[in-house]
Structure 1
């Protein structure tokens, strides 16, 4: 029986330090015996003018090399290159750029996909409407669009992108969404069919035997409260500043792109900004911390934050790490072991309580184990009406 193929048109490139739902679903498909094509949003000469140089280097390498077998025999990852790509800037925010950039790819994207055996696939998966222009040239048995966030909550979203999302949602067989609060948003797109498919965790990766303590921690006093992930405008910098002052005996370690954090957080002895760390190393940072934090700004970014179903909640739990989070709509649905807080005083108190009397590690890991990505792949195939084998 020939191996089944899934082509995934995604936002993030394969080697991104942010390993999000689509990365994990790709691994889940591969583990289930599928051949996976993983195509991220394109690069262009304009990307040389800004952004993270290290990440651009990784993306450029995948482009110049014609893609790479990142999971040998199972996952082929690629980044297209084009003269122009969609962006919320003059000229680049025009509808024709969003719809036609794939015609300006070098080499031709659709031709490259056909050469790699992905011109006809069993499942076509999309989590980025930027890819809309070339998707119609791929023959697929079933198609699915995954919504992990409300696009309208992002500053980079243009009217052209919003229109493309409506087109994609109405053209696929199924739209899946990652948070209960996105249900109304998805219904407004008027898809043919829709289903709830929340985030999960690569449980084996995070729950494996305790790893060696990171060298970064050698000079950091304990206890350690850690955050791993993006620190964009929805990160609650005011809350973090106030908690840092209230708990000077706690070391706060923030891991991830920290350009904005360095601008908005006042330096002090108990603040440690470590920058990006490879996904492979993240479990060690969590296993050797004392409490995991999710401090998102619900007040000023309600539309965006309320639709977030945080992967890090499951990743913290899989490492046996107590969790303290600000309270928002989606978290109230999850019945998780996280302590949900409103305001600085409650957040600070919850950290102290987690340090003084942490929940049982086995209970935290049992919660995470029930939310493994392998189960999400099975749920997705079932919703699409595709046999598991």
Structure 2
């Protein structure tokens, strides 16, 4: 890779992301932010997401409302990133064509300075031919199943690894290539509270994110019963609480990414109520820094990647026995949380991209 200028050291050329998520829904993931920042720095970025298959549509796994706004072909977004959400008959990894063929089908030159893949299901034999630098960027634990098997194939071919947490890196076993731990970050400036937000906020706690089996509905119920004077707002798609929740719990459904900061600015505490799922051990929640950037204290279940830092407004609990006390500490933290906001600024996506670019420069290329 060459330098765009001696001042910035920004690499020119082309980078391909093979990502588990497209950016046309309510969520933003790490690949979206890296693609955005790199494009802003002059890199030609192509972002391919997990294909949406006919099988997924027919079985209801992807409903029609979630297809709104997804382009049918390659399309540049407002940040200059070329977005591709392929359509296939069968889901990956059964789907054909290969990634190389998907690119060629849209008239895209299938040669890149680097490929960063975080979705094991997008791996096929053609990926190795797309660049002399293939970087695996695992964002989750895959202890078994199809993704585990594909992850092993990727590691056999990859030139480097960028993991989002220590636990995710350890889960890969012994590596024969350079590696880096690069946790998720936040759009600190976007989430920062308005200057007029000077006074303490009311007793309101909020969660924004996925509501799958890694979310602990029981803990929300427990907090709500213990503190009926506190409002708990849960934002995310497909909310399915196991039973009726107390009246002070409000489920607001999915919130568009652009509207999340204003929602957070109404709250005092950001929640990360992680369930007992072993997959939570490897998570690097983006919401941790987004909450802090928005001026919230954070209340989270302790994991290998999330520990207490009371001076920064990060409170953790281990189980139901100490969860209520942790809530009280989070509610008592000065509001808005200025010290946490300073930490979030140091974890901006611009700084994360600096580290990513530096790593790419150190990874030896191979002939393809």
Same fold (TM over 0.5): yes
CA contact (8 A) 1:7 1:123 kept: yes
- Residues 1:293 and 2:271 aligned together: yes
**CA distance 1:50–1:225, change in 2 (3 Å):** same
Aligned twin of 1:365: 341
Equivalence map 1:195-214=2 (5 Å): 195-207=180-192, 209=194
Aligned twin of 1:89: none
User: Secondary structure of 2:246's match?
Assistant: coil
- Residues 1:177 and 2:163 aligned together: yes
| Gap runs ≥5 in structure 1 | 87-97, 213-220
Which consecutive aligned stretches of 4+ in structure 1 deviate over 3 angstroms post-superposition? 333-337
How well do the aligned residues superpose, as a CA RMSD in angstroms? 2.7
Aligned twin of 1:40: 49
User: Secondary structure of 2:172's match?
Assistant: helix
Name whichever of 244-253 and 340-349 sits farther off.
340-349
- Residues 1:226 and 2:206 aligned together: yes
Q: In 1, distance between residues paired with 2:47 and 2:55?
A: 23
Aligned twin of 1:101: 95
Aligned twin of 1:149: 140
**CA distance 1:356–1:184, change in 2 (3 Å):** closer
Q: In 1, distance between residues paired with 2:140 and 2:357?
A: 21
- Residues 1:244 and 2:238 aligned together: no
Q: Deviations over 1:90-132 (max 9, x none)?
A: xxxxxxxx2x523289x9513135x234x11111111011111
Residue 27 of structure 1 deviates from its aligned partner by: 1.2
Equivalence map 1:261-340=2 (5 Å): 261=241, 264-297=242-275, 300-301=276-277, 303-332=278-307, 337-340=313-316
- Residues 1:192 and 2:177 aligned together: yes
- Residues 1:53 and 2:63 aligned together: yes
Q: In 1, distance between residues paired with 2:351 and 2:84?
A: 26
User: Secondary structure of 1:330's match?
Assistant: coil
CA contact (8 A) 2:301 2:318 kept: yes
CA contact (8 A) 1:102 1:133 kept: no
**CA distance 1:121–1:191, change in 2 (3 Å):** same
Q: In 2, distance between residues paired with 1:195 and 1:237?
A: 34
CA contact (8 A) 1:84 1:104 kept: no
CA contact (8 A) 2:98 2:126 kept: no
Q: In 2, distance between residues paired with 1:309 and 1:135?
A: 30
Aligned twin of 2:234: 254
**CA distance 1:237–1:339, change in 2 (3 Å):** same
Residue 295 of structure 1 deviates from its aligned partner by: 0.7
User: Secondary structure of 1:232's match?
Assistant: coil
